Structure 1
């Protein structure tokens, strides 16, 4: 009887171990997003490439991973995105922001998006594209630069120092980064006015306005951004669009127990 019990437990244990390996590979694909080679993924996970490849084929078949036919690199598939978005949908900031973000898009007719703080910096989690023939492509899952975007600068202004220090140090080493004084001035302005405007910083000819969303204890939960082509969107901090953005983030913050006081 004991031997029979052990025999029945063995396949079950193997299934659990296989699920754990598959989960580790999915996490590795997320760490190395948007795409990575088999060798880099295997090195990152500390697994033999042959083992990783075998599991990747199963994940591709189920839609949780995909392979680029041009580069042969691997990335998360549509099924993983679906699961991820379902999890994000449980977050209050996403639930509270989506209808108001759509209303803001309708009011300004420019692309609007919500970003939250992720492992690698500000990550776009919801986008409302402008209703026009030509729109700016801002994708869910995009990670924005901390000091090279209006979204990132707002995160840098309101997040605890411990969360931004490492990324900020890396960013300040890069060519074209702001000086310490320029950054300090920008942070003081953002904290005073709760809004930041950018003209062509992340992409030439593209302007942006960003503002923070707070929860209980004035804890930063996310950043809303309006982005548009310079010829149609001036992104001035005293513009009607800026006023509507501030009204939107304040309404979301109030619902989550935060404030701008």
Structure 2
């Protein structure tokens, strides 16, 4: 005989199990980002494709997942992004950096952004767009190349070898990868100045200037970058933009118990 408590508990257990399955699928979408097929997702989470598909439809309806109409691949939806950003927003580096990025953007009238190290590499988590009529779009959630962007090269310089080795080895295997000697020279220059400029490296006609942010114990907490059109933004380590960027990075680092080099 089934007791009343058992009868009442069964629906609750089913809801908990359903929530766990939905969470596992969301984690799978995140791990296979930016998009994946149903079969790969099902294999990744170890569930039948029919079951995963059923849950995906519910996640799509609630905005936590989306399906590309062209490829039929699945990815995280807007609501999942908002939840992720809310969690990231709890990080001290984001809270501390935001007002300084606003001041930097206003002073230079160039787009400024903060990136932190994510599971896919340097990830943009906050952007202050330039006020000029034409702005450069740098999206929150964008993952930047490690060796093909000023932001990534700063991460490559200051993060522990164990954290960057896999991604660096992948990019070094690409046809346009920098030579090992050039990469070592770049790292030495970044350590010397505490800044790194690039001219058209990630995108032709676009310059960028990046600086590291440090927390207690000289731990790299993030990288802030100023990016602008080459026709109006002079990215170097000696100009007024470099001075203001260095000041902002120093203020953020000091607030977090760290020290900006250079």
TM-score range (shorter-chain normalised) is over 0.9
Trace 1:27-106 onto structure 2 (pairs within 5 A). 27-106=27-106
Q: In structure 2, how many angstroms separate the alpha carbons of the residues matched to 1:71 and 1:184?
A: 41
Shift of 1:10: 2.3
Does the 8 A contact of 2:199 with 2:208 survive in 1? Answer: yes
Map 1:232-243 → 2, pairs under 5 A: 232-243=232-243
What is the match of residue 200 of structure 1? Answer: 200
> Does structure 1 conserve the Cα–Cα contact (< 8 Å) formed by 2:105 and 2:129?
yes
Task: Report the TM-score, using the length of structure 1 for normalisation.
Answer: 0.96
Distance 2:72 2:5 in 1: 44
CA contact (8 A) 2:63 2:77 kept: yes
Paired with 2:41 and 2:232, the residues of 1 have a C-alpha distance of 43
Question: 1:109 is matched with which residue?
Answer: 109
Q: For structure 1, which runs of at least 5 residues remain unmatched after alignment?
A: none
Is the aligned partner of 1:229 residue 2:229?
yes
Which residues of 2 match residues 138-149 of structure 1 at below 5 A?
Answer: 138-149=138-149
Q: What is the TM-score with the length of structure 2 in the denominator?
A: 0.95
Following the alignment from structure 2 to structure 1, what is the Cα–Cα distance between the partners of residues 199 and 39?
Answer: 40
1:245 is aligned to 245
- Specify every segment of 5 or more residues in structure 2 that has no aligned partner in the other structure, as ranges: none
Instruction: Write out per-residue CA displacement over residues 62-121 of structure 1, whole angstroms, 9 at most, x where no aligned residue.
Output: 111122223322221121111111111111000001111111111111111100001111
The separation in 2 between residues aligned to 1:53 and 1:31, in whole angstroms, is 17
- Distance between the aligned counterparts of 1:41 and 1:129, measured in 2? 35
Q: Relative to structure 2, which stretch is displaced further, 10-19 or 38-47?
A: 38-47
| Distance (Å, rounded) in 1 between the aligned partners of 2:70 and 2:136 | 25
Tell me by how many angstroms 1:2 deviates: 5.8
**Structure 1 residue 123, shift from structure 2 partner:** 0.5
Say what the alpha-carbon RMSD is for the aligned residues: 1.4
SS of the residue 1:217 aligns to: coil
1:178 to 2:200 alignment: no
CA deviation profile, 1:215-249 (whole Å, cap 9, x unmatched): 00111000001111111112111111111111001
2:249–2:260 contact (8 Å) kept in structure 1: no
CA distance in 2, matches of 1:171, 1:68: 27
**Residue matched to 2:219:** 219
How far apart are residue 131 of structure 1 and its match?
A: 1.0
